[in-house]
Amino acid sequence: MAGLPKVLLSGFEPFNGELLNPSQEVLAELSGERIAGHRVEPLLLPVDFEAAPAALLAAIERHRPELVLCTGEAGGCTGLRLERVALNFIDARIADGAGRQPREIDVLAGAPAAYLCRLPLAEMAEALRDHGVPAELSLTAGSYVCNAVYFRLLHALAGTGTRGGFIHLPYLPEQACRHPGAASLSLATQAKGLGIALGVALGQ
Amino acid sequence: MAGLPKVLLSGFEPFNGELLNPSQEVLAELSGERIAGHRVEPLLLPVDFEAAPAALLAAIERHRPELVLCTGEAGGCTGLRLERVALNFIDARIADGAGRQPREIDVLAGAPAAYLCRLPLAEMAEALRDHGVPAELSLTAGSYVCNAVYFRLLHALAGTGTRGGFIHLPYLPEQACRHPGAASLSLATQAKGLGIALGVALGQ
Amino acid sequence: MAGLPKVLLSGFEPFNGELLNPSQEVLAELSGERIAGHRVEPLLLPVDFEAAPAALLAAIERHRPELVLCTGEAGGCTGLRLERVALNFIDARIADGAGRQPREIDVLAGAPAAYLCRLPLAEMAEALRDHGVPAELSLTAGSYVCNAVYFRLLHALAGTGTRGGFIHLPYLPEQACRHPGAASLSLATQAKGLGIALGVALGQ
Amino acid sequence: MAGLPKVLLSGFEPFNGELLNPSQEVLAELSGERIAGHRVEPLLLPVDFEAAPAALLAAIERHRPELVLCTGEAGGCTGLRLERVALNFIDARIADGAGRQPREIDVLAGAPAAYLCRLPLAEMAEALRDHGVPAELSLTAGSYVCNAVYFRLLHALAGTGTRGGFIHLPYLPEQACRHPGAASLSLATQAKGLGIALGVALGQ
């Protein structure tokens, strides 16, 4: 399996007082899995406006993946949220892990205002729902670290043959217990969903 | 196990265009299970203002359970909803399985306006959340078949030593796929939660 | 106008850190108004499990109204919420104005579990919507001071010719500004709606 | 007043089965008003992917405004939604007024992926809330006619001294009556809010 082409799958550490992050938990579930002839390489990122993009770009250099799928937590959403847009804009309502809270600035000065994802998001969402995994298309990945990482990813991949995407994940049920009224999805369902989404993106 | 005291666990058939009902699916998961020294006896009810209470009361006669827990679907809720109140009131927004749609009438003329559940609902909800299952206390089970069954149950049990309760269940993920933005909970989590709730109710 | 039959309209003082309470503001709008041949008598109540019912019952003694309509704030709701049920149950998640926070107790020991409102709520809701005022029927007034006052009201009126009801009101826009994502309704719309609801209730 | 510099304020006709559109109604309220030394010029647009941008660009040619503020309806939102991003992407879930329903296409081939609004949106939102008008910042204006018009506007204004923006408006209470549970805001509050937002935008 060492010779298989790779998919780089990133997730984030817990933040904002949470003890878990679904995007970290799914890494353990999918790490080393073989999907559509590709091997899943996991990468855990800190919730940090500088360290996270740096670690992602370094991992791309190292692993030379054919596809990069980043994931992050979007507390309150009900299904997998496939992000269409990476925006060149940061406006943080809470500080990141390093204590920075930039307001209304560019992710990267001089870069385009946005990148649109080239993955077949509508087909991915349809496949997810066909397999019983709630999913929706989203036009904004927010203005926090998730979006900044996504923007840096699509900026780095622009003009290369490598494709990238971002999927936001709901709370795990354990997290939702501490947020009355918040929706959640089990780890098994979330991991199954990411496998399906990757399968479609990789050519199925 | 034949000699064990029984818990009667009821669920409903799919309705309102759904292909599944979480309260039916959990029956298969828990049927015959042993919880806190009791055996779970399953009962599937039709979504019918007359046939459902009749079948429930007949099953109570037949099984002589120590505890009766009814369950039903509450599409859109995010966790198990423990119902405090059974109301002597019907106001149906959609027809039942037999085509009846009663508006603003009593469940049972001459009976009290409501019954309050005597199960330790707050402790049950706390135990659920402690085990990672989202749960909330609710003060209304609606004015449709679920509530009518619940009212007939607590009316029948009033003055007896048998206790009863009602728990509303969220959509299964497969259902939520057809309701954009609706929350859901996996069957495994829902069944686990009912087991925990029954354990607390029976252990007191 | 002194000789007109009276409607007693109650509202509450601000609570839970709010600077306003829509149910207080509507009193000023409707105080002394003539609706369907009745004069509106306003009554401001404290958010207090003991003082509020006491003041309400004293005002009924004093004014001998033909109809009593209590109002209160239900932050987050989108329209006037016409309450069908007054429940003999208190479970306070925050302390009242006197610092009491009773959990899982009766409003009145030995009284019925609930009273159902005898006002024509469905007709009132329909009239509201026909006049452009969002409205919904509700089966629970909660388990806090609003519900306790409502229960004491319907208990006191039971067997008399006087009718009573309760309508929960949304935030005012000024309040919603401090609660991102919360719905609101302008004071003018809320006061107009209460006038319409009273007109229907009195006209029957 | 003929000699005053102009603000062009656009709204849309009702669509999707609605009888009203808040963005049309506010035009009548603000037409001809003088705000911060500017005269408000109203413009009603059809919900049409081709005719709407064409009419807007023609009106800009004709009126030579200093500022262009487009408005549209976003059913379900609770306050004025100040749109940060105009996206070069169309994905229509319902047909427009001319029966077209384009899926996953560019607004304008060869144009940038997005434009970011240069108006002081955070200050506008703060001023709105300070004056009791619920408001929020938004990172997506959707992928329907509103966003397409917005994109064409910012593309046309790029490199000129003229600034542009887009504000989505909640349902009017009359509309919310037909959408149970949907939030609304009165016409008076919406019009007041647009006046405040324009005042801040023009005062800089």
What residues of D are annotated to the active site?
83, 146, 168
**Residue in D closest to C186 by C-alpha:** D186
What residues of B are annotated to the active site?
83, 146, 168
Task: Answer yes or no: is B1 within a domain.
Answer: no
Q: What string of DSSP letters covers B162-202?
A: -EEEEEEEPPPHHHHTTSTT--B--HHHHHHHHHHHHHHHH
Check residue D144 and give its pLDDT. Answer: 98
Confidence of residue A2 (pLDDT cuts 50, 70, 90): low
Contacts with C136 from chain D: Cβ below 8 Å = 180-181
Q: Do A84 and D85 touch (CB under 8 A)?
A: no
Any catalytic annotation for residue A33? no
Pairing status of strand C85-87 against strand D34-35: unpaired
Check residue C157 and give its pLDDT. Answer: 98
Query: Is A158 touching D (CB cutoff 8 A)?
Result: no
Which of B105, B126, B140 to mutate to probe the C interface, most C CBs <10 Å? B140
Q: Do B186 and A184 touch (CB under 8 A)?
A: no
Check residue D2 and give its pLDDT. Answer: 67
Between CA B78 and CA A184 the distance in angstroms is 7
Spans of chain D below 70 pLDDT: 1-2, 204
Q: What does pLDDT average to in each consecutive run of 10 residues of chain B (204 residues)? A: 89 96 98 97 98 98 98 98 98 96 97 98 98 98 98 97 98 98 98 98 86
pLDDT tens digits for range A55-88 = 999 999 999 999 999 999 999 999 999 999 999 9
Percent of chain A with pLDDT over 90: 98
> How close, in Å, is residue D112 to chain A by CA atoms?
7
Contacts with A181 from chain B: Cβ below 8 Å = 78, 136
Instruction: Give all chains having 3 or more CB-to-CB distances under 8 Å with chain D.
Output: A, C
Query: Is A10 touching B (CB cutoff 8 A)?
Result: no
Contacts with C133 from chain D: Cβ below 8 Å = 173, 177
Contacts with A78 from chain B: Cβ below 8 Å = 176, 181-184
Between CA D92 and CA A11 the distance in angstroms is 31
> How close, in Å, is residue B92 to chain C by CA atoms?
13
In this complex, whether C and A touch, counting 3 or more CB pairs under 8 angstroms, is no
Pairing status of strand A67-73 against strand A163-169: parallel
Q: Looking at the DSSP assignment, which residues form a beta bridge with residue D167? A: D71, D82
Query: Is D87 touching A (CB cutoff 8 A)?
Result: yes
Contacts with D189 from chain C: Cβ below 8 Å = 173, 186
pLDDT tens digits for range A84-118 = 999 999 999 999 999 999 999 999 999 999 999 99
Query: Is A137 touching D (CB cutoff 8 A)?
Result: yes
Confidence of residue C145 (pLDDT cuts 50, 70, 90): very high
Spatial CB neighbours of A21, under 8 Å, sequence gap ≥ 6: A11, A12, A13, A14, A15, A72, A73
Instruction: Give all chains having 3 or more CB-to-CB distances under 8 Å with chain B.
Output: A, C
Task: Answer yes or no: is D1 within a domain.
Answer: no
Between CA A168 and CA A22 the distance in angstroms is 9
Query: Is A76 touching D (CB cutoff 8 A)?
Result: no
Check residue C10 and give its pLDDT. Answer: 98
In this complex, whether C and D touch, counting 3 or more CB pairs under 8 angstroms, is yes
Instruction: Give all chains having 3 or more CB-to-CB distances under 8 Å with chain C.
Output: B, D
Task: Answer yes or no: is A82 within a domain.
Answer: yes
pLDDT tens digits for range C28-56 = 999 999 999 999 999 999 999 999 999 99
Neighbours of A133 (CB within 10 A): 26
- Measured distance between the N- and C-terminal CA atoms of chain C, rounded to whole angstroms: 21
Mean pLDDT across C100-109: 97
Q: Do C114 and B85 touch (CB under 8 A)?
A: yes
Query: Is C195 touching B (CB cutoff 8 A)?
Result: no
Check residue D198 and give its pLDDT. Answer: 98
Between CA B145 and CA C105 the distance in angstroms is 28
Check residue D1 and give its pLDDT. Answer: 58
Between CA D166 and CA D145 the distance in angstroms is 12
CB B67 within 8 A of CB B38: yes
Between CA D166 and CA B187 the distance in angstroms is 44
Q: Which residues 112-131 of chain B have a CB within 8 Å of chain C?
A: 112-116, 122
Q: Do A177 and B129 touch (CB under 8 A)?
A: yes
Check residue B3 and give its pLDDT. Answer: 86
Q: Do D114 and A85 touch (CB under 8 A)?
A: yes
Which structural domain, as residue segments, surrounds residue D82? 6-202
In this complex, whether D and B touch, counting 3 or more CB pairs under 8 angstroms, is no
Check residue A91 and give its pLDDT. Answer: 98
Instruction: Give all chains having 3 or more CB-to-CB distances under 8 Å with chain A.
Output: B, D
Q: Looking at the DSSP assignment, which residues form a beta bridge with residue A98? A: none
> How close, in Å, is residue D96 to chain A by CA atoms?
20
Check residue B204 and give its pLDDT. Answer: 60
Task: Answer yes or no: is D131 within a domain.
Answer: yes
- State the alpha helices, DSSP H only, in chain D: 22-30, 51-63, 121-130, 145-157, 173-176, 187-202
Query: Is A136 touching B (CB cutoff 8 A)?
Result: yes
Q: Which two tokens stand for residue A173?
A: 């049920």
Which of A41, A83, A117, A155 is labelled catalytic? A83
pLDDT tens digits for range A135-152 = 999 999 999 999 999 999
> How close, in Å, is residue A136 to chain D by CA atoms?
13
Task: Answer yes or no: is A98 within a domain.
Answer: yes
Tokens 């704030």 found at: C73
Check residue B202 and give its pLDDT. Answer: 96
**Residue in C closest to B137 by C-alpha:** C91
Q: Do B181 and A78 touch (CB under 8 A)?
A: yes
> How close, in Å, is residue C107 to chain B by CA atoms?
13
Task: Answer yes or no: is A1 within a domain.
Answer: no
Pairing status of strand B135-138 against strand B80-83: parallel
Task: Answer yes or no: is C1 within a domain.
Answer: no
CB D151 within 8 A of CB D91: no
> How close, in Å, is residue C5 to chain B by CA atoms?
29
Q: Do C85 and B88 touch (CB under 8 A)?
A: no
> How close, in Å, is residue D28 to chain A by CA atoms?
32
Mean pLDDT across C171-200: 98
Residue C88 has pLDDT above 60, yes or no: yes
Q: Do C133 and D173 touch (CB under 8 A)?
A: yes
Which of A146, A155, A174, A179 is labelled catalytic? A146
Q: Do C87 and B143 touch (CB under 8 A)?
A: no
Spatial CB neighbours of C176, under 8 Å, sequence gap ≥ 6: C182, C183, C184, D78, D79, D134
Q: Do C180 and D136 touch (CB under 8 A)?
A: yes
b/e per residue C42-76 (b: at least 16 CB within 10 A): bbebbbbbeebbebbbebbeeeebbbbbbbbbbbe
- Provide the number of structural domains found in chain B: 1
Residue A5 has pLDDT above 90, yes or no: yes
Q: Do C89 and B140 touch (CB under 8 A)?
A: no
Check residue D167 and give its pLDDT. Answer: 98
Check residue D45 and give its pLDDT. Answer: 98
Query: Is A135 touching B (CB cutoff 8 A)?
Result: yes
The ipTM assigned to this model is 0.95
Check residue D3 and give its pLDDT. Answer: 86
D135: Cα separation from own chain's centroid: 14
**Residue in C closest to D133 by C-alpha:** C173
Tokens 């207090």 found at: C48
Residue among B132, B184, B186 whose CB faces A78 most closely: B184
Q: Do B136 and A180 touch (CB under 8 A)?
A: yes
Residue among A91, A113, A122 whose CB faces D114 most closely: A113
Q: Do D89 and A89 touch (CB under 8 A)?
A: no
Express the helix, strand and coil content of chain C in percent, nearest 5 each. Answer: 30, 25, 45
- Here the CATH number for the domain that contains residue A194 is 3.40.630.20
> How close, in Å, is residue C49 to chain D by CA atoms?
30
Count contacts between C and D (CB, < 8 Å): 67
Mean pLDDT across A176-198: 98
**Average pLDDT of every residue of chain A:** 97
Check residue C3 and give its pLDDT. Answer: 86
Task: Answer yes or no: is B14 within a domain.
Answer: yes
